[in-house]
Structure 1
């Protein structure tokens, strides 16, 4: 229940001094009589007038309360809300080659990519999302699913060394296309994240992009890596050693992939830019939601007005019958 004029309810505070005044007046009106003992008086029952002597005042309070509530115009609301959601299919193709261990993003490119992608997944609860990983080869880490808890656990398990080292961008993209092409969603998207140039695999990246275009799949290509020299851990017979390498990759190919498929190319040079890229993709690929609302308000003031009238009539009847004072 809601009120159209809720400000009038503050008038109920005026009842506090009225009740205080009534109690004070009742104490003043008490008569006193000196007698030797109360023992015999306890045998006499209280009259009906004594038992209901406060009833008129209570009815008067109820009359005022009901009138104030009626003035505030209480209303009941009947509402109906229909909400329809339509998710999209998203396949993430993640490069896990050795250069993804470079530490220009913190703690490294691979871990930063996993962390930001996890945030992205959690922000898309209605979408089917899957994961393809690639290096010299490619395989599906998780097919399209709405069980994002399982997907995130599989994401956490991704690490360097799961596949032979190398960068097969075309193969990774083609694998992602194969996994998403038969989805039932109207909108299909691949997020391709890499930091290298295609140097392995039998499928050229542009050829994989043409296949994606055939199935109406948009590709958002993200090139990861800062400019200049970066520290990259390299396994050696003496253990893991760091080497300085030039941070470069085939940006033009990634741009071509995005242009062919109607997607967009991004360059992530640090953690913040990578997070902003995923946020922009999230805005570009909004889930469709149709909402229909129906609301009807019913006035209820007449119920409280009627209750006030009944209380007032009852008070008048009691004062002029049972509690009638004879002059």
Structure 2
């Protein structure tokens, strides 16, 4: 146990002169009733009240001592523990172009990607994780954080059409790299998910991959979409009509990005395959970290206050009942 305001303990020294004063006071007390000879009382059994005569003073000293201890704020000490955990820095780069609304994955590609990525985040409590979104341009939805509650809340607000349409894969990688380049983590990873080919942006995907490699960042690329044609919802006159659109994923470029950065390329043609992809990445990216964990201090004045109150009530009871003095 430690004390947050340890200097208050010096107040205990003030009890010493108080005790000395009490002793001297009772030594100087004169008898209320003077007798010429007390031998006639020698055989009378002493009352138990004689032994309790100084009890109120002792109780008062204890109460004062406890009050001083309460002022000093007793606290439990921190519990330090060295442990080994697994943690890395991860940026999720997610394509939010309108083609991600295709429903070859259920309910659509974007919602399926969000669900699986959220499950992935929940399974990595020790990681710094952030989100980059890209379509025709790219921006950071959430910087690297270990507060996964906030991260998952922001995840729910992701939707298609929030930026200019298109697929700027290179910009998505570059934006994620800007968030990871200064990281001191042993392992830095980008998980890029897209369903198309690069057709926008000022940075080509392979140039962005070279930049990632220069900072020691691995890029895992995921091409999401079925083989062949995919149903795409189209709003016509207030109703939803479905048209079949071809699935065009630049697997060659996504594979080259992964190879350049020592990552892997995965293809997810349905919901279950997408889950398998994230599970595979989860297995690949595990780094042992030695961390020192501690518990917060807790105030421990409650017991001192309770005992002080009980002793104060006991002193009040003795002084006004059994040991009550009549002038």
TM-score range, shorter chain: 0.5 to 0.7
Q: Deviations over 1:23-52 (max 9, x none)?
A: xxxxxxxxxxxxxxxxxxxxxxxxxxxxxx
Aligned residue number for residue 313 of structure 1: none
Q: Deviations over 1:153-175 (max 9, x none)?
A: 11110001111111110111110
Q: Is the 8 A contact 2:186 2:287 kept in 1?
A: no
Aligned residue number for residue 98 of structure 1: 98
1:249 CA displacement: 1.2
Aligned residue number for residue 110 of structure 2: 110
Q: Provide the TM-score with structure 1 as the length reference.
A: 0.62
Aligned residue number for residue 198 of structure 1: 198
Q: Provide the TM-score with structure 2 as the length reference.
A: 0.62
1:114 CA displacement: 0.1
1:111 CA displacement: 0.2
1:87 CA displacement: 1.9
Name structure 1 gaps, 5 residues minimum.
1-79, 292-327
- Secondary structure at the counterpart of residue 161 of structure 2: coil
Q: Deviations over 1:75-131 (max 9, x none)?
A: xxxxx9741335210000000111111111000000000000000000000000000
Aligned residue number for residue 325 of structure 1: none
Q: Deviations over 1:259-312 (max 9, x none)?
A: 000000000000001001100100000131569xxxxxxxxxxxxxxxxxxxxx
1:229 CA displacement: 1.1
1:220-239 equivalent positions in 2, closer than 5 A: 220-236=220-236
Number of equivalent positions: 213
Aligned residue number for residue 154 of structure 1: 154
- Does the alignment pair 1:173 with 2:173? yes
* Runs of 4 or more above 6 Å deviation: none
1:241 CA displacement: 3.2
User: CA-atom RMSD, angstroms?
Assistant: 1.9
Q: 2:86 and 2:115 mapped to 1: Cα distance?
A: 26
Name structure 2 gaps, 5 residues minimum.
1-79, 292-327
Q: 2:158 and 2:198 mapped to 1: Cα distance?
A: 21
Q: 2:250 and 2:239 mapped to 1: Cα distance?
A: 30
Change (3 A) 1:158 1:189: same
Q: 1:98 and 1:235 mapped to 2: Cα distance?
A: 13
Q: Is the 8 A contact 1:126 1:287 kept in 2?
A: no
